[in-house]
Amino acid sequence: MKIVDIKTKVISIKLNKTFKTALRSLDKMENIIVEILTDTGITGYGAAAPTEVITGDTKKSIIGGIEYIKKHLINKDIRNFEDIMVTLNRCIEGNTSAKAAVDIGLYDLYGKLYKAPVYKLLGGYRNKLTTDITISINSPEEMAKDSQHAVNNGFNYLKIKVGKDANMDVIRMQAIRKAVGDNVNLLIDANQGFEPKEAVRVIRRMEESDIKINLVEQPVYAKDLEGLRYVTNNVNVPVVADESTFSPIDAMKVINMRAVDMINIKLMKTGGIYNALKLITIAEVNDIDCMVGSMMESKIGVNAAAHFAASRSNIVHVDLDVPLLCCEEYINGGITYNKNNIFLQAEDGFGITINN
């Protein structure tokens, strides 16, 4: 099974509601779809999400990166998978989203070659996941209403976006906790929105207000690892690194510094599954649990992240709700949702097809 061509196209998907974080606001999301064609007639599908404020990758840079990668992969045989992955990761620096799109398509082909779902090839730990759902930054009243709606729809873990106004964030969380009651788990995600001391003050106020926060994700600027460690050492709530941890090397830094309690792995940051497996192994040998999330990605990317999440035992939290936030879906097959549960398919590879 040799690669004969790699094609790209851009899709645009409308969201049910404006997605708002401390970093950006979106009414729709654009994704770059990758089709890896082989001499057997079998196609592998991958995708990437431009997330300029996090990965630095734009639509044009992703397409350009994939075109550059393509030159190095033509005529490569999927049976020589390690050789392909080494070539993919060495042929260009950075461009993690472009690499991830190609990586996902290659793993799709790998599963199809050996006639197995990808999560089975990666470890096959489970075939069902439970995801949280994201609540965007809005007024306390609107966020409380959105949270109650999510709980009524079967979600018992909410990921609350904060980080734009520390004092208002406490009011937001108080309103949400009052609306959903004490039995719903709440994670807050500041998307780098706080200064270290500010983050500690805000989190302590939430602790003292008996809001009962389960996790705090990326409270400070991504490159401020000392600030991240300061927050971790001065609050009782477990702290998760997201934007601070792209690569296996990044994971080693935050772990060696004891800067966080958990790591959020996203394929657009790692450059795909190949490097995500290295990162999670580093976490595992250091007794660090992980969560798996995504950018604002199409079902192709989220589907691949779900397969990765289902393959390993030290992935203890999943944030893969983006398909539920979309008005329409461009992708057929793959994972299915029933309220907060994600079920993996039994088809070969990632089990997806694309509407033309």
The pLDDT tens digits of the residues spanning 155-181 come to 999 999 999 899 999 999 999 999 999
- Of 14-23, 145-154, 268-277, the least confident: 14-23
Q: Which residues, in sequence order, are CB contacts of 145 under 8 Å at separation 6+?
A: 179
Per the structure block, which two tokens stand in for 88?
């993919």
Same structural domain for residues 44 and 102? yes
CATH of the domain at 204: 3.20.20.120
Contacts (Cβ under 8 Å, ≥6 apart) of 338: none
335's tokens = 């994972």
Number of domains the chain contains: 2
Residue at a domain's end among 53, 85, 115:
115
Residues 97 and 150 in one domain: no
Q: Where does a domain end: 115, 143, 166?
A: 115
| pLDDT digits 0-9 by tens, 76-123 | 999 999 999 999 999 999 999 999 999 999 999 999 999 999 999 999
- Domain match, 163 and 215 both: yes
Tokens for 315, please give them.
């992935």
Same domain, 231 and 152: yes
Whether the pLDDT of residue 233 is over 70: the answer is: yes
pTM of the model: 0.96
Cα atoms in the Cβ-side hemisphere of radius 13 Å centred on 124: 8
Over residues 240-249, the pLDDT tens digits come to: 999 999 999 9
- Catalytic residue set: 161, 266
pLDDT above 70 (res 145): yes
Q: Are residues 127 and 271 in the same domain?
A: yes
In this structure, the dihedral spanned by the alpha carbons of residues 231, 234, 236 and 241, taken in order and rounded to 10 degrees, is 20
Contact 310, 282 (CB under 8 A): no
CATH number where 10 lies: 3.30.390.10
Same domain, yes or no: 46 and 147: no
Do 257 and 207 sit in the same domain of this protein?
yes
Residue linked to tokens 């097809």: 353
pLDDT of residue 356: 64
- In terms of domains, do 251 and 181 share one? yes
Taking residue 302's Cβ as centre, other Cβ atoms within 10 Å add up to: 28
Tell whether 284 and 211 lie within a shared domain.
Answer: yes
Domain ends where: 115, 145, 179?
115
CB neighbourhood size of 209 (10 A): 14
| 3-state DSSP assignment of residue 258 | coil
Do 107 and 126 lie in a common domain? no
User: According to the 3-state scheme, what is the secondary structure of 171-207?
Assistant: HHHHHHHHHHCCCCEEEEECCCCECHHHHHHHHHHHH
Contact 187, 213 (CB under 8 A): yes
Residues 192, 312 within the same domain: yes
Domain containing 61 equals 3-115
Say whether both 281 and 181 belong to one domain.
yes
Helix (H, G, I), strand (E, B) or coil at 287: coil
Sign, CA dihedral 86-92-96-100, equals: negative
Instruction: Write phi, then psi, for 208 (nearest 5 degrees).
Output: -70, -25
